[in-house]
Structure 1
Amino acid sequence: MRQIRQVLRLAFNDKVSRRVISASLCLHRDTVRDYLVRAAAAKLSWPLPPDLDDAALEDLLFPPVSQRSIRKPQPDWATVHVELKKKGATLQALHAEYLEEYPDGLAYSRYCDAYRKWAKHLKRYMRQTYIAGEKALVDFAGPTMPIYLPETRKERRAQIFVGVLGASNYTFAEALWSQKLPDWIATHTRMFEFFGGVPAVVVCDNLKAGVSKASRTEPEIHATYQNMAAHYATMIIPARPRKPQDKAKAENGVLVVERWILFRLRKRVFTSLDELNAAIRELLIELNNRPFQKLPGSRRSQYESIDRPALKPLPIQHYEYTEFRKVRVGQDGLFELDGCPYSAPWALCRQEVELRVTAATVEILHRGRRVGSHERSRGSQPVIDPQHLSPEHRYVGFWAPDIELKWAADIGEYARSFLKKVLEQVKRKDLGMRAAGAMKRLEKDYGAERLNTACARALEIDADSMSSVRSILRAGLDKKGAESGIQEAAFDHVNVRGPGYYH
């Protein structure tokens, strides 16, 4: 106001031109002209009345814009606020619908300004606009609930999980024994069933059960948590570290559950987790049915009209809890899971593989490809798939006499008979393997035909060791026997006893 008074003094008292006033007071000439026009409209002259202070002078020069006597119809801003949460809704589209009902209503810019002015009366922490069916925000409450176990007569604290749908504030709460991965995954599946559908995004905190590595830009989601999200066709977006405003609805949901559920249950004594969850479910119905203070309806009515139609349907197949672990295959081709050894393909010895573990199976993944699987064992005996072993290890590990006899039968009838005779005398598996291995080396050195003939000769002389067959082959007796057969005298003589004498 001080500069305005100087402009009026110089113009009315000193009769100075606008150009000189502008240069003297460092004001734009248009500003000087505007001041003088307003002063003329207010019929001011110099000197100003002594009782005219700055506030009164401002009211004379800059009077408030007079409101029209007939106000244009105002929309129901609470309804507009709710409609904006629906997918695809914009203020421009809602303004067009408003003009259809009130053709002489507010202009678009005035409409937007009026809505923003109304929205300022809502709670200040409400900085995000949530689309229907888009987000579910989850977190654990700070306070825990005591449960007195009758079998141990000790107190055990239960964790309270809270999930909130962003658009409707529809709230889910459940008591768990821990915040570990199995409980974390199981409560998500029950939350989706409670909602009757799946949101597009789940916003969680950076607890270890859900996020392997917290980061503002590239967080790493736990593989099991990510697998659950893939089953339900949803997406996991962790909040930024130390930024609770990213999951403001979850923070508010925790506060509401603490006030309207946990506080009301503080004097009750619970002896089991199921008993506590039954009490929470009863109060949860009441909580979701409580009417809003500044918005129409309740959490349930908003859920039924906004969120529920927009949620994705639940998958037909129920989710099976699955863990992913990384292990290194030992030099013996085995890896250990929960104290039980399992086999892996022999080509992966000393390499790292990923395990997909369920309650019934153990799948082996290498570079994203499934290379083997086992039924899960609860004991400590090794679980070995014969196909995982190398040919040599498979031969040693699953050796049986029948396999060797089948091989010998391909050599010849005498070879099979002789090997069967040798194996029947052997009492140990390793000795039987040695005998069969020796026979295979003889077949490789002398051929199948000579080996079969040598075994026939060994059977004739009642031999029962592989060294006898080896001696026959080295001395070439199998050839002599094959060429001449049994040599008998062609004449009778007193000194010739004949073959019958020796049998």
Structure 2
Amino acid sequence: MNVLKPHLQTTIWTLLQANASQREIERVTGISRHTIRAYQQRFAAEQSNCPGVATGSEAVASQIAPPRPPASLSAATSLCEPHREFIDAQLRLGRNAMAIYQDLVDHHGFAGQYNSVKRFVAKLRHKVPEQFDRLSFLPGEEMQVDYGEGAPTRVAGSERYRKPRLFVATLRYSRASFRCVVWKSSQRVWAELHERAFRHFGGCPQYVVLDNLKEGVLTPDLYEPELNKVYAATLGHYGVVADPARVRDPNRKGTVEHAIGHTQSTALKGRRFESLEAQNEFLAHWERNWAAKRIHGTERRQVQAMFEEERAHLKALPLLGMQYFDEVERTVCDDSCVRVQHCSYAARPAAIGSKVLVRIYVQRLEIRDIRTGKLLRTHAKAERPGTVVLPQDERVFNPSRETRLILRQASEIGEHAARLCQLLFAIEGRVGQRKLWGIVGLVRRYPAHCVNAACAQALEQGIYSYKRVQGLTESLFAEALAAIEAQASASSTTTVAAAGLTQQHELIREAEEYGDLFAQAAATAVCTMVATASTQRSRS
């Protein structure tokens, strides 16, 4: 047993007399519970012997541990002892020392001071520790996940350090953990971290316990929580069920909470890293060489051995990984298409004007019903902006009010513009109205006769395209500007040559007279400046 200094022994003895637990004494003094337990046994043995005179080894022990008066003696000397039953009953009702003191004075004729009641109440009051049920889980049943803070890491391209987010996933049976740090979190990052955890463990648990953060749970509810779509699709792909904890109930996922604290206090405390990759490599090394090989305090077994036992009970991983997507809401236009990333995609059987959900994958695109999530249409993702993915038999050719408006504006531009717009609509239907709007909108930047002439040339060439009309309009406008500038330059040259320059006239003086005039004006200005400066100095 460690031999403590006399004042520390006195502190332990005093706290034990006050019915403090060993854990509380350890928290207050910083002394190990094993040492506190040994001194408690030693004090109990000495009190049971209770010699009248200490001799020999007992005298030495009395020098180390201070003599303690019997508890009965201290209670007997208190003025509150005759009222013990009343005070104890009031404490059970939850009343404080001041209220008990006031009742003792008013109804029991108590003559002591408030401090006497306060000390007596402190001895009688017993702190009942908060109790928790210890839950047990089957292998491969539950995994708990949560975010914490990682160690300070240098931000790329700067000298600044910042703490990233620390993701920890812990299997409840074996306490094996997956740890990873990221700069930012989002719905997709949250789902990707779960997938990496499944791959790390080599299998999937039956369900996942998580917090009610927005990356995973959109609307917390005890019975039917609304999950983020990407996260729900990821768990569905791996056959895992989400079990969000109650709001403000972190004890439900106490295993991962402890794992985060263990990681921060043991692995990352006092460390700095130059990059996220370096910190993730260190966390993997620490988990493999230290955390997995530790003996768990509750189970008294090695974490790695428990994980090897649990590995066989995890569900097998699917052959293909999760295909992540972005989900957006779109309205079906009057041409029966939806606009996604500057491209048009057929949306039938969705009705014109209705809302649909569009899931954008890397190589494909899905159109789903906004209420039921039912798949309506699948398309390969277009590579070039402006592409129209719409079969010819699904095109709508009956003119709408928007079509009539465009054709009326085209007829105001000119005959050729109206004819070209009519041909484009007859070829492409309503889906080609965007091209018609582009042709009509050229009059905002160029004269109408240039746009009309460009449409005439496009009709002659047989190229019915907005880009072609735009290029022809720009060329015609540039040619017109060049012709105007050339005509204006020729006209000014002719005027100057015809008029000539007059060198002799009665109103034109000699050059020397103009020079004398300029010199006289400069001298007058200098004199004025000097006079002004002298006046200011005299005033100051």
User: Which among 232, 235, 244 is matched to residue 238 of structure 2?
Assistant: 232
SS state at 1:310 partner: coil
TM-score by structure 2 length?
Answer: 0.47
1:172 CA displacement: 1.2
Q: Confirm or deny: 8 A CA contact 2:364 2:379 kept in the other structure.
A: yes
Cα deviations by residue, 1:122-146 (Å, 9 ceiling, x for unpaired): x9655322121111010001x2433
User: Which among 252, 268, 273 is matched to residue 272 of structure 2?
Assistant: 268
Name the counterpart of 1:242: 248
Which residue identity lines up with residue 165 of structure 1 in the other structure?
L
Cα deviations by residue, 1:81-133 (Å, 9 ceiling, x for unpaired): xxxxxxxxxxxxxxxxxxxxxxxxxxxxxxxxxxxxxxxxxx96553221211
Cα deviations by residue, 1:212-261 (Å, 9 ceiling, x for unpaired): 11112221111211111111111111111111122222212222222222
Whether 2:136 is the aligned partner of 1:136: answer: no
SS state at 2:397 partner: helix
SS state at 1:327 partner: strand
SS state at 2:167 partner: strand
Partners of 2:283 and 2:206 in 1: CA distance: 26
Which residue identity lines up with residue 384 of structure 1 in the other structure?
V
Whether 2:285 is the aligned partner of 1:282: answer: yes
User: Which among 196, 199, 204 is matched to residue 193 of structure 1?
Assistant: 199
Partners of 1:336 and 1:290 in 2: CA distance: 56
Partners of 2:131 and 2:392 in 1: CA distance: 65
Whether 2:397 is the aligned partner of 1:392: answer: yes
Which residue identity lines up with residue 283 of structure 1 in the other structure?
W
Cα deviations by residue, 1:340-383 (Å, 9 ceiling, x for unpaired): 55442375221111222212211112344433223335764344
User: Which among 299, 308, 311 is matched to residue 295 of structure 1?
Assistant: 299
Name the counterpart of 1:172: 178
SS state at 2:164 partner: strand
SS state at 1:373 partner: strand
TM-score by structure 1 length?
Answer: 0.51
Q: Confirm or deny: 8 A CA contact 2:191 2:234 kept in the other structure.
A: yes
Whether 2:338 is the aligned partner of 1:335: answer: yes
Cα deviations by residue, 1:436-493 (Å, 9 ceiling, x for unpaired): xxxxxxxxxxxxxxxxxxxxxxxxxxxxxxxxxxxxxxxxxxxxxxxxxxxxxxxxxx
Which residue identity lines up with residue 292 of structure 1 in the other structure?
H
SS state at 1:315 partner: coil
User: Which among 164, 168, 174 is matched to residue 162 of structure 1?
Assistant: 168
1:334 CA displacement: 3.9
Partners of 1:387 and 1:125 in 2: CA distance: 68
Partners of 2:398 and 2:287 in 1: CA distance: 61
From the two aligned structures, give the one with the greater helix fraction: 2
Q: Confirm or deny: 8 A CA contact 1:345 1:387 kept in the other structure.
A: no
**Mapping for residues 35-434 of structure 1, pairs under 5 Å:** 125=132, 127-141=134-148, 143-263=149-269, 266-270=270-274, 272-285=275-288, 286-305=290-309, 307-337=310-340, 341-345=344-348, 348-366=351-369, 367-377=372-382, 380-386=385-391, 389-392=394-397, 399=427, 426-428=460-462
Partners of 2:225 and 2:238 in 1: CA distance: 20
| Compared CA separation, residues 315 and 399, structure 1 to 2 (3 A) | same
- Structure 2: runs of 5 or more not aligned: 1-129, 400-422, 429-457, 466-540
Which residue identity lines up with residue 203 of structure 1 in the other structure?
V
1:387 CA displacement: 5.2
| Compared CA separation, residues 128 and 340, structure 1 to 2 (3 A) | farther
Partners of 1:152 and 1:338 in 2: CA distance: 34
Partners of 1:293 and 1:240 in 2: CA distance: 27
Q: Confirm or deny: 8 A CA contact 1:341 1:380 kept in the other structure.
A: no
Q: Confirm or deny: 8 A CA contact 2:206 2:315 kept in the other structure.
A: yes
Partners of 1:166 and 1:425 in 2: CA distance: 74
1:321 CA displacement: 1.5
Partners of 2:173 and 2:342 in 1: CA distance: 47
Partners of 2:162 and 2:381 in 1: CA distance: 32
Which residue identity lines up with residue 137 of structure 1 in the other structure?
Q
Which residue identity lines up with residue 372 of structure 1 in the other structure?
R
| Compared CA separation, residues 381 and 126, structure 1 to 2 (3 A) | farther
Partners of 1:231 and 1:340 in 2: CA distance: 29
Partners of 2:358 and 2:294 in 1: CA distance: 47
Larger displacement relative to structure 2 (342-351 or 154-163): 342-351
Partners of 2:222 and 2:304 in 1: CA distance: 34
Cα deviations by residue, 1:143-199 (Å, 9 ceiling, x for unpaired): 243322443444454210011111111111111122211211111111001111100
SS state at 2:389 partner: coil
| Compared CA separation, residues 193 and 350, structure 1 to 2 (3 A) | same
Q: Confirm or deny: 8 A CA contact 1:210 1:225 kept in the other structure.
A: yes
Partners of 2:260 and 2:213 in 1: CA distance: 16
| Compared CA separation, residues 391 and 221, structure 1 to 2 (3 A) | same
Which residue identity lines up with residue 218 of structure 2 in the other structure?
S
1:294 CA displacement: 4.2
1:330 CA displacement: 3.0
- Structure 1: runs of 5 or more not aligned: 1-122, 401-423, 432-503
Partners of 1:208 and 1:183 in 2: CA distance: 12
Greater RCO, CA 8 A, separation 6+: 1
SS state at 1:198 partner: coil
